[in-house]
């Protein structure tokens, strides 16, 4: 899982199914969510998981109305499909992703 900078964000989400984790390094729940996503990374064929640090990429965070973290957004071919605020259980997240494959 890689942390994506603002300049690369659009190209990273432009094709396929992408799960974006908006986080901050100082956020406890974000670390928990990060651990869950690490378990999932590479295990769902056709899904890319990336992270966006809201402190480093404020423009992207504002663009998608990120007010609380962690916030996870599923994109398909660059279009927002689903937004989830707060911790997301692994099973529920996997189930949501399957809808877009």
DSSP secondary structure letters along 70-91: SEEEEEETTEEEEEEES---HH
List, for residues 33-76, the tens digit of each pLDDT value: 999 999 999 888 999 999 999 999 999 999 999 999 999 999 99
List, for residues 40-49, the tens digit of each pLDDT value: 998 889 999 9
pTM across the whole model: 0.96
Of the residues 17, 18, 20, 30, only one is catalytic, namely 30
Helical ranges in the chain per DSSP H: 6-13, 28-40, 58-63, 90-98
Q: Which domains does the chain have, with CATH numbers?
A: 2-98 (3.40.30.10)
**Radius of gyration of the chain from its Cα atoms, rounded to whole angstroms:** 12
93 is catalytic: no
Of the residues 27, 85, 87, 94, only one is catalytic, namely 27
């Amino acid at each position: 899982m890689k942390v994506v900078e603002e300049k690369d964000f659009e190209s990273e989400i432009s094709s396929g199914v992408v799960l974006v984790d908006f986080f901050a390094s100082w956020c406890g729940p974000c670390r928990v969510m990060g651990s869950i996503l690490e378990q999932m990374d590479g295990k769902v064929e056709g899904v890319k998981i990336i992270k966006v640090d809201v402190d480093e990429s404020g423009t992207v965070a504002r663009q998608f109305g990120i007010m609380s973290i962690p916030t996870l957004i599923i994109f398909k071919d660059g279009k927002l499909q689903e937004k989830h605020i707060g911790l997301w259980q692994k099973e529920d997240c996997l189930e949501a992703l399957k809808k877009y494959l």
